[in-house]
Every structure is written in structure tokens, then in C-alpha cells.
Amino acid sequence: RTSVRLKSKAGEVFVCENAAYHPYSEDEAAKVLQEDEIDILVDLGSGSATAKAWGCDLTYDYVKINGDYRT
């Protein structure tokens, strides 16, 4: 039941639905991710509780290192 969406002023992209990869446009995702503020919305599909966390480590080295995981 888990889903993950990336959302910004440029739009919204589902990247995971029902705990599995959800096909999406990389061009659309790139537009969403170019904004200064991006929401990563995770729905565990297991109740109505909510939580919010803030993060900011998107330095070049951090993104470069973690980008290596994507193949």
C-alpha cells in the first residue's frame, strides 16, 4: 500500500505505488526536482497519522555519492 510522490511548484510525480516502482517521466521528475523546495510525500497506507521532517543536504558531493546507487 506504500506510495511515494515528489511534489514542487512545477508539478507532482508518483515514483512508487503499492510498494513497487511506478513508471514516470524522467523529464517531468527533473522539472519537479529543479525547484528550490521539494516535498517527498510518503503514504504507508496503514492509517491516518501524519508526520513532517525537514532536510537540506543536497550538496553536490552528497548527490554525486548517492546518485551512484541508481543504475
pLDDT tens for each residue of 44-70: 999 999 999 888 777 888 888 877 776
**What sign does the CA torsion over 71, 20, 5, 39 have?**
negative
pLDDT of residue 60: 83
| Per-chain mean pLDDT for the chain | 89
Calpha distance 55→67 (Å, rounded): 17
pLDDT higher at 69 or 4: 4
Domain layout of the chain by residue ranges: 3-67
pTM of the shown model: 0.71
Beta strands in 1-71 (DSSP E): 3-8, 11-17, 20-21, 39-43
